[in-house]
Amino acid sequence: MNIYLDHSATTPVRAEVVEAMLPYLGEFYGNPSSIHRTGRKAHAGLDAARRTIAQILGAKTGEIIFTGCGSESDNAALRGIALARREQSGANRIVTTPVEHKAVLETAIDLRDHYGFELTILPVDGDGQLDPTAVEAVLDDDVAVVSVMHANNEVGTILPIGEIGALCRVRRIPFHTDAVQAVGRLPIHVDELQVDALSATAHKFYGPKGVGFLYLRQGTPFHSVLTGGSHENSRRAGTENVPGIVAMAKALALAEAEREAEMARLQILRDRLIGDILKAVDGAQLTGSPNHRLANHASFVVDGVEAEGMLIALDLAGIAASSGSACTSAAQQPSHVLEAMGVPSRLAVGGLRLSLGRSNTPEQIDYVLEKLPRIVAQIRGMMPVAL
């Protein structure tokens, strides 16, 4: 039994995607910057991938910068825009939220601690939701960049990016969104979202790891973070990962073509998971927004149960789940997202995230619903009774 319910951490690479990238690991091995035919073949693959991604996003091809991962895209957006904006206009403040992925939060903190930026971290409510009027209240000429994630990786909440984008747009303040969890799961059109920069990574939509992209609207102030050669129009030095990029474009095209039908299918499974777990597991509470949440995402805290024991027991039963974020789970620290949402630490240690994807079937959900309540009961039986 192997039921994979950790698609927010990563997804398996689709067979069609492997097939698309193979020629670029073999016969089309050239350096895309080379002038000769071998190089031009690789360059053609790069061009085609850029066109595919730009077209899906409603962007211009020159607005797509290939990167090494979602974290790099986030770093490039925050550092690249904040530094360039300050140079241009003196704006010195970064505005973000406490529920961002660490790739955004730690970058913002680094820019504060080592580059002299001011940092405003806006509060979120108990669902992890951000009120656009709270953003509006802090927007002024001193704001260099605003960064708000599209969908949260730990609790699945979808944030009102279009509304926040519109508020930034009228004040001509660059707006970045970390759309790593949203791409392939939500409609992504850069003009409708009113974003100036958007981060994505292939491994969340059935592409390979180690490749991502940053959408950067034409005219957005930007200072390259990776310096060297003039790759990516001098916005990201380094020979491009051609096989990975070709694979990413293929994965995105497939995900986009199937998105509506697949998300409708997953939402039914997700709603069963949520409804039945809340009924069958005593002390389980949903985390994140009940209504504005990713169709593939179910997350909970379970009172009186530590995540680690629950995850090990689930793994032994053939179910791969997570406590929230794969990036911090090894660190055994309370989730900064749950903390920001006001979840008491007693509950926050019992985080459980079940994130669905292409391989999941109704029968698998039946199996999880049969196993999980028993596992929780077993763990509770083993734990000392609180006095």
Ligand X SMILES: Cc1ncc(COP(=O)(O)O)c(C=O)c1O
Strand duo 93-96 + 143-147: pairing: parallel
| Separation CA 32–CA 299 (nearest Å) | 43
Question: CB-wise, 153 or 241, nearer to ligand X?
Answer: 153
Question: CB-wise, 167 or 180, nearer to ligand X?
Answer: 180
Residue least distant from ligand X (Cβ) = 70
10 Å CB burial of residue 328 (0-12, 13-18, 19+) is middle
Question: CB-wise, 28 or 205, nearer to ligand X?
Answer: 205
* Helices 242-280 and 362-382: angle between axes, nearest 10 degrees: 60
Question: CB-wise, 180 or 379, nearer to ligand X?
Answer: 180
Question: CB-wise, 75 or 360, nearer to ligand X?
Answer: 75
Residue 105 token pair: 């939060």
CB 376 within 8 A of CB 279: no
Coil, helix or strand at residue 160: coil
Q: What residues are paired with 319 via a beta bridge?
A: 3
| Separation CA 82–CA 76 (nearest Å) | 10
- The minimum distance between CB 181 and ligand X, in angstroms, equals 5
Q: Which letter does DSSP use for residue 100 in this model?
A: S
- The minimum distance between CB 75 and ligand X, in angstroms, equals 9
- The minimum distance between CB 287 and ligand X, in angstroms, equals 15
**Backbone phi and psi for residue 361, each to the nearest 5 degrees, phi listed first:** -125, 165
CA angle 220–221–227, rounded 5-degree value: 115
- The minimum distance between CB 23 and ligand X, in angstroms, equals 24
* Interface ranges with ligand X (CB under 6 A): 69-71, 74, 101, 103, 149, 153, 178, 180-181, 201, 212, 327
- The minimum distance between CB 74 and ligand X, in angstroms, equals 6
User: Looking at the annotation, which residues are catalytic?
Assistant: 327
